[in-house]
């Protein structure tokens, strides 16, 4: 058979098990697995999932009328070295629009054979597995260990509405089918394998003893009973797949009604269930073929949850927690690092997504990248889906130190959509360098309404009201020589089980400091091959890229800047490999210095300087003398301007960066910006003065700029003078 003849006019049924077996440019039939902001995940077989990026669509992603489990047709565009599959849009979305169909079974004897398709595009007969109509209706029988049986009325109703609900009905339906389909075995729409469509339901009387998930590998082809929690529900073009987890491990259970029809529709993520079925191995993966499933309640549900919770806590607790470097402030929070690492690890093991909200700064990106570096390998080990890192981990930079209602509403909307459309559990939200101040309470409380777990990580002390609201915090008790990036690196080191990953974090603490990093962090980075110059380059490069598209995580780009080709000079790489790693960071940091230098020259020529009570006061009207929407952002510009003024002046220095309705405060001494804002509010009561987080920002009404600047200056100078005295 000439495989290359008119392949663009046929679709293929992929029966392989590995991405590299796909053939680019071919059209394949698949099923919708789930949705993300950037596109649609499509299952081409149980083991291979591809991404149809939104840029490949001929319409807006929001206008697609696809639902999870829908059959769709896509073209394989590319298979990457890491196994990711890029898909392209097919304007033909039904069988009748193609001239034919073929089997693509790379390791099978039917490879290349034609598939007979019906005129109406029907995919032919499918396998049906007997099941009861309502899993939650069986709680009374489940309490005594028995399986739930539908009443005669239920059976009649369900057969009318759904089609096939028990073994006898399967036989009746098959007697009306084409004779070629009866007795010869019916193809399983999820696996492409043939199976007996008339198999009898599992007799649950002889499987009353509970089997642990960890034991199922030794019980293939046996009938078992599993008691576990449902961690994920996925509707394929064939069966409904329930992800089950008990105290020993996870396993998928497949339940069939009709192709693409939701089995046990009353079962929800988080339910404790009792499942009876037969253990099978499909393409190397364990799977339980469901015969009966009952949702547990009361003491039975509590028993399942308690067993799993105790085992998860024990497994999630790190064996040892040791700071990356011998730095006093980091050592002081070791217990907090251990508790936070347990929270993060447990979320991974429970199958809950992790969302990291971090500041859109160099320090914030270092913190987010550190957690990402440790969590992703755990996710890949725990969840074998090819797109697991997209389902279970997400970084979302926040260009504001306050976690307010705007980002909280966005996060809640996404997590509820993921739960309702994709069956995902509610996430663990890690707030790194944001959310530690009382001004973030509204947003944090909104997350809490939906029981999303919240972990706050910050180099500044967390306000008491926030500590009381969130589930866990990791921060020093008072001012400390720490950055959020340094704390997050220690957290990541405690989360990971890999010594290689731990070593790759060694330069991050030194990279996160704008001022001179502690000597212990400098030495730690040097041991890993990163001198101070290398750390500086990477910090500056990340700071520049953090400014552009500030709400995007830029996962690959930030990863290249921080980790790839860690310290090797460009001359050691072939020119054909392009600009990566150390060479990339050098290139971007050059842009950083050029842009910052140009802006500083303009700013220094236009600052107002005066002395007040012995304090040198530097005021920059950034609204008038800085390019507000270009790099550098005002906070970074004010920080660098303050650093230079401090180096040139022997006494106390106060630097103020003035925007339209916001003031950025920097001082050589420790000042309480909230207290200064309170004093200014009393002095100018109609100016709407308010502190915005811990980062030295004060907001006000633009019409009262001059009065607010004078009031804040007086309040801060009084604090500085009092401290010096």
Distance, in Å, from the CA atom of 454 to the CA atom of 436, rounded to the nearest integer, reads 11
Query: What would the pLDDT profile of 515-554 be if each residue is shown by its tens digit?
Result: 899 999 999 999 999 999 999 999 999 999 999 998 898 9
Query: What would the pLDDT profile of 392-406 be if each residue is shown by its tens digit?
Result: 999 999 988 899 999
Whether 668 shows a pLDDT value over 50: the answer reads yes
Do 7-104 and 125-308 come out as alike in CATH topology?
yes
Query: What would the pLDDT profile of 423-475 be if each residue is shown by its tens digit?
Result: 788 999 999 999 999 999 999 999 999 999 999 999 999 999 999 999 999 99
Indicate if the alpha-carbon torsion angle 638, 640, 643, 647 is positive or negative: negative
Residue 416: per-residue pLDDT: 92
Whether 130 shows a pLDDT value over 70: the answer reads no
- The domain locations on the chain are 7-104, 125-308, 328-562, 606-724
Q: Is residue 609 within 8 Å of 618, Cβ to Cβ?
A: yes
Whether 160 shows a pLDDT value over 90: the answer reads no
Q: What is the mean pLDDT of residues 606-616?
A: 93
155's tokens: 């059976």
Whether 592 shows a pLDDT value over 80: the answer reads yes
Residue 43: per-residue pLDDT: 92
Residue 131: per-residue pLDDT: 39
Distance, in Å, from the CA atom of 293 to the CA atom of 244, rounded to the nearest integer, reads 12
Whether 602 shows a pLDDT value over 70: the answer reads yes
Distance, in Å, from the CA atom of 511 to the CA atom of 479, rounded to the nearest integer, reads 20
641's tokens: 């301007």
Query: What would the pLDDT profile of 42-56 be if each residue is shown by its tens digit?
Result: 999 988 999 998 888
Residue 128: per-residue pLDDT: 31
Instruction: Using DSSP, state whether 135 is helix, strand or coil.
Output: helix
Whether 225 shows a pLDDT value over 70: the answer reads yes
pTM above 0.85, yes or no: no
Ranking 42-46, 295-299, 301-305, 574-578 by mean pLDDT, the lowest is 574-578
In percent, how much of the chain has pLDDT > 90? 58
716's tokens: 């801060």
Domain formed by 328-562, architecture: Alpha-Beta Complex (3.90)
In percent, how much of the chain has pLDDT > 70? 83
593 — pLDDT class (breaks 50, 70, 90): very high
**125-308 adopts what CATH topology?**
OB fold (Dihydrolipoamide Acetyltransferase, E2P) (2.40.50)
Q: What is the mean pLDDT of residues 251-268?
A: 89
Distance, in Å, from the CA atom of 429 to the CA atom of 398, rounded to the nearest integer, reads 13
Most confident of 81-85, 218-222, 469-473, 658-662: 469-473
Residue 126: per-residue pLDDT: 30
Domain 606-724 CATH assignment equals 3.10.310: yes
Q: Is residue 388 within 8 Å of 380, Cβ to Cβ?
A: yes
Residues 704, 707, 710, 714: what is their CA dihedral angle, to the nearest 10 degrees?
Answer: -110
Instruction: Please provide the DSSP assignment of 478-509 as one string.
Output: S--S--HHHHHHHHHHHH---HHHHHHTTTHH
Whether 594 shows a pLDDT value over 70: the answer reads yes
Q: What is the mean pLDDT of residues 133-139?
A: 47
| CATH annotation of 7-104 | 2.40.50.140
Q: What is the mean pLDDT of residues 57-82?
A: 85
Instruction: Please provide the DSSP assignment of 173-211 as one string.
Output: HHHTS-TTTSSS-EE-TTT--EE-TTPPPP-GGG--SB-
Query: What would the pLDDT profile of 314-372 be if each residue is shown by its tens digit?
Result: 989 998 899 999 999 999 999 999 999 999 999 998 889 999 999 999 999 999 999 99
Whether 664 shows a pLDDT value over 70: the answer reads yes
What letter does residue 153 receive in the DSSP assignment?
H
Nearest Cα to Cα of residue 523 among 322, 321, 320, 327: 327
- The mean pLDDT of the chain is 83
Whether 159 shows a pLDDT value over 50: the answer reads no
């Amino acid at each position: 058979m000439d495989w290359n003849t008119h392949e663009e006019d046929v679709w293929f049924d992929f029966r392989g098990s590995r991405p590299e077996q796909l053939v680019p440019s071919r059209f394949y039939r698949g099923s919708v697995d789930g949705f993300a902001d950037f596109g649609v995940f499509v299952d081409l077989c149980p083991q291979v999932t591809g991404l149809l990026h939104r840029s490949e669509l001929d319409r807006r992603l929001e206008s697609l009328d696809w639902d999870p489990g829908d059959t769709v047709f896509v073209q394989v565009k590319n298979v990457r070295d890491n196994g990711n599959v890029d898909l392209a849009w097919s304007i033909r979305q039904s069988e009748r629009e193609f001239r034919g169909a073929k089997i693509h079974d790379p390791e099978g004897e039917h490879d290349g054979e034609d598939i007979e398709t019906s005129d109406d595009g029907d995919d032919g007969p499918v396998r049906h597995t007997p099941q009861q109509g309502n899993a939650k209706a069986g709680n009374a029988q489940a309490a005594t260990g028995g399986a739930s049986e539908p009443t005669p009325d239920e059976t009649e109703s369900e057969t009318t509405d759904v089609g096939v609900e028990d073994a006898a009905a399967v036989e009746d339906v098959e007697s009306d089918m084409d004779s070629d389909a009866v007795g010869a075995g019916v193809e399983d729409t999820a696996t492409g394998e043939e199976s007996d469509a008339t198999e009898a339901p599992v007799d649950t009387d002889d499987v009353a003893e509970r089997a642990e998930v960890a034991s199922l590998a030794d019980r293939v082809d046996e009938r078992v009973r599993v008691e576990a929690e449902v961690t994920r529900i996925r509707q394929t073009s064939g069966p409904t797949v329930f992800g089950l987890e008990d105290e020993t491990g996870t396993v998928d259970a497949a339940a069939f009604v009709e192709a693409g029809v939701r089995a046990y529709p009353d079962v929800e993520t988080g339910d404790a269930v009792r499942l009876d079925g037969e253990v099978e191995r499909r393409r190397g993966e364990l799977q339980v073929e469901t015969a009966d499933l009952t949702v547990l309640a009361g003491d039975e549900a509590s028993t399942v949850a308690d067993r799993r919770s105790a085992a998860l806590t024990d497994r999630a607790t790190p064996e040892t927690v040791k700071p990356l470097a011998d730095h006093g402030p980091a050592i002081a929070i070791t217990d907090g690092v251990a508790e936070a690492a347990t929270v993060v690890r447990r979320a991974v093991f429970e199958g809950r997504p992790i969302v990291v909200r971090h500041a859109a700064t160099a320090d914030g990106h270092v913190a987010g990248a550190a957690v990402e570096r440790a969590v992703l390998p755990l996710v890949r080990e725990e969840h074998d889906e090819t797109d697991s890192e997209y389902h279970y981990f997400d970084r979302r930079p926040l260009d504001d130190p306050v976690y307010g209602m705007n980002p909280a509403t966005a996060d809640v909307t996404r997590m509820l959509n993921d739960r309702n459309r994709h069956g995902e559990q509610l996430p663990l939200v890690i707030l790194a360098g944001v959310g530690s101040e009382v001004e973030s309470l509204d947003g944090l409380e909104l997350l809490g309404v939906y029981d999303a777990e919240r972990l706050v990580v910050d180099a500044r002390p967390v306000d008491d009201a926030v500590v009381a609201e969130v589930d866990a915090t990791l921060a020093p008790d008072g001012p400390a020589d720490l950055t959020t990036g340094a704390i997050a690196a220690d957290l990541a080191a405690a989360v990971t089980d890999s010594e290689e990953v731990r070593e790759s974090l060694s330069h991050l603490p030194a990279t996160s400091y704008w001022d001179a990093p502690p000597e212990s962090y400098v030495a730690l980075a040097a041991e890993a091959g990163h001198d101070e110059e290398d750390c500086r380059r990477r910090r500056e490069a990340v700071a520049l890229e953090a400014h552009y598209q500030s709400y995007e995580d830029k996962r690959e780009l930030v990863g290249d800047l921080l980790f790839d080709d860690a310290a090797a000079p460009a001359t050691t790489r072939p020119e054909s490999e392009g600009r990566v790693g150390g060479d990339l960071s050098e290139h971007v940091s050059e842009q950083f210095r050029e842009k910052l230098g140009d802006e500083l020259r303009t700013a220094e020529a236009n600052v107002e300087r005066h002395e007040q009570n012995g304090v040198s006061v530097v005021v920059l009207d950034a609204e008038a003398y800085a390019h507000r929407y270009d790099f550098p952002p005002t906070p970074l510009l004010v920080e660098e301007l303050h650093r230079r003024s401090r180096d040139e002046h022997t006494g106390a220095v106060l630097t103020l960066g003035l925007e339209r309705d916001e003031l950025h405060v920097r001082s050589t001494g420790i000042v309480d910006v909230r207290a200064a804002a309170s004093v200014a509010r009393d002095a100018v009561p109609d100016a709407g003065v308010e502190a915005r987080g811990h980062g030295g920002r004060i907001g006000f009404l633009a019409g009262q700029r001059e009065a607010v600047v004078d009031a804040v200056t007086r309040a801060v100078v009084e604090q500085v003078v009092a401290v010096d005295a």
